[in-house]
Structure 1
């Protein structure tokens, strides 16, 4: 093997180690996010428990078929599982004109999509402005999803499955949003809140 060939081989080995290292961490974080044991993930994916354990500890380089089985079991795209995390630092600015706005059916609740569109598959967040009496009625998201409503001004009420809870400025409501849920502005004045939706495929520590 010539000098160029050896350099290329070394680069490929280094690249494989970077991907493998990131892969193991990602698989482990996803598994824990879904509260799955190694045995449960092995059963769902068809990949041996010992192999999954080795992958998470970065002791083996799995085949593409193995990665695909794990990604299917964890309900996440294979591209995301393989993606490296070593991105260049950046600062991105969105102006008011660039920010999409959603409006409730009654026209009294406006949601500005302030979250990053690249994370929309697993994390969404909005700036919520509501007139008194405004209602935001939503269908359920992916099973296992959770929504957080942090009230900045006014008062809001959330109803999920017949259970109702209210929150004032400085308070946060967290609730399952994988079923029909309703957010209402119940104060005498306008309401302002930040809403964050953590979908099923979220990668969490």
Structure 2
């Protein structure tokens, strides 16, 4: 059995979560600050949303980002390096790859982030009480809440509130890190 495309996964998840929340397409677009036509295209499996658009939709639906991009999980799942649902940023050379999503009870997601130097990714606040845990695997990363960033080297760990604006910036080529998001 093959995994659905990322566009099909996002389309099904958006429709499901919007219907679960009992809101119209127009209302979700308003809450997320995106055009209704864009949301309609995404729910139809057309388009290539940025990580920022998906975060906005997740916040508007009060669901973790992972719920919008995670395909159904088989009994054994292996994601090889470079595979998995990859979501790019509009702001810089940044890719987030979801490798594991928490269940509805656990609400914990694991991502592999690849970032290249050249720009800063400004992340908006995520769902209330969310927490980010980051371990740098290669390169160097500057991250943290706006105004309280820290520089991390390979093997370094940092944690901070994800429900406040925060940033990610690669300080060396080939930077990648593992990000664990907790959603209470």
Smaller-chain TM-score range?
A: 0.5 to 0.7
- Residue number in structure 1 paired with 2:154: 169
- Residue number in structure 1 paired with 2:89: 104
* CA distance in 2: counterparts of 1:156 and 1:97, whole angstroms: 20
- Residue number in structure 1 paired with 2:70: none
C-alpha contact 1:112 1:126 (8 A) present in aligned 2: yes
* CA distance in 1: counterparts of 2:105 and 2:175, whole angstroms: 25
- Residue number in structure 2 paired with 1:184: 169
Shift of 1:192: 1.0
2:170 counterpart of 1:196? no
- Residue number in structure 1 paired with 2:15: none
Larger Rg: 1
C-alpha contact 1:136 1:182 (8 A) present in aligned 2: yes
C-alpha contact 1:141 1:199 (8 A) present in aligned 2: no
- What are the ranges of 5 or more consecutive residues in structure 1 without an aligned counterpart? 1-74, 76-89, 201-205
Provide TM-score, normalisation by structure 1: 0.48
State which of 132, 140, 145 in structure 1 corresponds to 2:130.
145
- Residue number in structure 2 paired with 1:122: 107
Seen in structure 2, the aligned counterparts of structure 1 residues 183 and 98 have a Cα distance that, compared at 3 Å, is: closer
* CA distance in 1: counterparts of 2:95 and 2:137, whole angstroms: 15
Seen in structure 2, the aligned counterparts of structure 1 residues 94 and 174 have a Cα distance that, compared at 3 Å, is: same
Q: CA RMSD in A?
A: 3.0
Query: 1:83-139 CA distances to partner (integer Å, 9 max, x unpaired)?
Result: xxxxxxx43334679721111113401111111364598111111111123432211
Provide TM-score, normalisation by structure 2: 0.53
Shift of 1:160: 0.7
* CA distance in 1: counterparts of 2:100 and 2:165, whole angstroms: 22
Matched length: 113
* CA distance in 2: counterparts of 1:107 and 1:128, whole angstroms: 12
Shift of 1:162: 1.3
More helix by share: 1
- Does the residue aligned with 1:141 lie in a helix, a strand or coil? coil
- Does the residue aligned with 1:144 lie in a helix, a strand or coil? coil
